[in-house]
Amino acid sequence: MKLFEFEAKEIIRGYGFGIPESILIKKGDDVEKKIRDSGIEPPLAVKSQVLVAGRGKAGGIKLVKTIEEAIETTRALFETPIKGIKPSYILIEKAIPHEKELYVGLVIDRNDKRPLVLASQYGGIDIEEIARTKPESIIRYPIDPFVGLRSYEARLIGKKIGVTGKALGSFERFLLTLYKAFIEYDAELAESNPLAYLNDRVLPLDLRITIDDNSLYRHKDFAKTEKERLGENTEYEIKGHELGLAFVELDGDVGILGNGAGLTMTTMDLVYGFGGKPANFLDMGGGADAEHVKQCVSFLLQYQKAKKIFINMFGGITRADEVAKGIIMALNETGIKKPVVIRLTGTNEEEGRKILEEAGIEVFNDPIEAAKVVVSR
């Protein structure tokens, strides 16, 4: 789960690292009163709090020189969709004049199975772009998960990206603080880009933290707020997550349901291969019973984008008769009619086939043939 910039900054501030003075405006607040009462002085950066990449380029950050301009810009930004998403919060921050911008981030190295510091003297552009244009500038420093990040290591990394003098101590404190947040918030990503390099200190102008979804049970305050986080997930995806479904929205019109992530992805690939376009990814998981299958199928029947549905099920632990029962229940209970193509094989295949055929639904054994048929309908 991605945190908003203001949430990530709140965490860092809470750990005692100084960040630019700011005020947070919520949608519906009296914008003028809140800004004037805060006593914050221009120049200011007015920042739309949306969870989409490339916010700056998309017009989500404005620099203003007067309070009047700040009020006007804040009002305008609330009405400005950034990549389709209107913000619920605007962060107004003291603009800090600076000449140099750095990049520093923490990720998990999948292969080395440990935290990895990424740092570069070229901040302010996407790390992907830095990796493409100046790969030699990126410092990669692995951290022993049992020892953690030591102060000397933070200084070493700072030196390597050109931080010197008084600012080096500030960089050290910042990186240790970021690491603390990375660990305590079970993050899969914690980064500052840009990190402003001033004469005597560093200052995170932007800050991003992404919490590992599997750890959300340890961070319940954030777990409750998925609904407010439009931009990371679509409305229908959030609806699916609330039902506990592994659902991803896509742009096509063929609803996809499979059992197991790999098989479900392969089902999408097959549909694509025959010229169709999947409307979604939905994995019913392993060992689904009729009730769970019903929930999944109903969800796709009610999903506007899916004009037809392809169910691809390989029965191992999941039983074909349970899947068949679930499909019939969903069709009956929702009363929604869409072309449904089903490939059913494996455990209790015969019973499953019988249940579906008695209800007049055609069942395929070969997924290739089924994929061709669903695309043609």
Active site residues: 103, 191
Say if residues 275 and 375 touch (Cβ distance below 8 Å): yes
Report the alpha-carbon distance of residue 140 to residue 127 in Å, rounded. 12
Per CB under 8 A, 54 contacts another protein = no
Contact positions with another protein (CB under 8 A) in 310-339: 314-317
Following CA atoms 245, 247, 253, 256 in sequence, which dihedral angle do they give, to the nearest 10 degrees? -70
Instruction: Please state the φ and ψ torsions of residue 26, each to the nearest 5 degrees.
Output: -100, 150
Three-state secondary structure string covering 133-185: HCHHHCEEEECCCCCCCCHHHHHHHHHHCCCCCHHHHHHHHHHHHHHHHHHHC
Per CB under 8 A, 128 contacts another protein = yes
Per CB under 8 A, 220 contacts another protein = no
Residues 137-176, one symbol each (x = binds another protein by CB under 8 A, - = not), give --------xx------------------------------
SS3 (DSSP) at 266? helix
Rounded to a whole number of angstroms, the minimum distance from the CB of residue 284 to another protein is 10
Interface with another protein: number of residues (CB under 8 A)? 53
Per CB under 8 A, 188 contacts another protein = yes
Rounded to a whole number of angstroms, the minimum distance from the CB of residue 337 to another protein is 27
* CA 270 remoteness from chain centre: 26
Question: ω before 145 within 30° of 0 (cis)?
Answer: no
Report the alpha-carbon distance of residue 225 to residue 168 in Å, rounded. 37
Rounded to a whole number of angstroms, the minimum distance from the CB of residue 260 to another protein is 3
Amino acid at 192: S
Report the alpha-carbon distance of residue 313 to residue 352 in Å, rounded. 11
Compare residues 39 and 275 and give the one whose CB is closer to another protein.
Answer: 275
Contact positions with another protein (CB under 8 A) in 72-101: none
Per CB under 8 A, 263 contacts another protein = yes
Give Cβ neighbours of residue 229 (< 8 Å, ≥ 6 apart).
1, 2, 4, 51, 238
Rounded to a whole number of angstroms, the minimum distance from the CB of residue 266 to another protein is 5
E strands, the chain, in order: 22-26, 44-48, 61-64, 89-94, 100-109, 114-120, 139-142, 187-197, 202-204, 208-211, 246-249, 254-258, 280-283, 308-315, 340-346, 363-364
Per CB under 8 A, 270 contacts another protein = yes
From candidates 170, 177, 259, 348, binder to another protein by CB under 8 A: 259
Compare residues 109 and 333 and give the one whose CB is closer to another protein.
Answer: 109
From candidates 261, 289, 333, 362, binder to another protein by CB under 8 A: 261
Residues 285-314, one symbol each (x = binds another protein by CB under 8 A, - = not), give -xx--------------------------x
Q: Around 28, how many Cα atoms within 13 Å sit in the side-chain half-sphere?
A: 1
Rounded to a whole number of angstroms, the minimum distance from the CB of residue 334 to another protein is 24
From candidates 38, 80, 334, 347, binder to another protein by CB under 8 A: 347
Residues 1-40, one symbol each (x = binds another protein by CB under 8 A, - = not), give ----------------------------------------
- Beta-strand relationship, 187-197 and 208-211: antiparallel
Per CB under 8 A, 213 contacts another protein = yes
Report the alpha-carbon distance of residue 158 to residue 169 in Å, rounded. 9
Per CB under 8 A, 193 contacts another protein = no
Q: Which residues bind another protein (CB under 8 A)?
A: 53, 107-108, 110-111, 113-115, 127-128, 131-132, 145-146, 183, 186, 188, 212-215, 217-218, 246, 248, 250, 258-266, 268-270, 272-273, 278, 281, 283, 286-287, 314-317, 346-347, 367-368
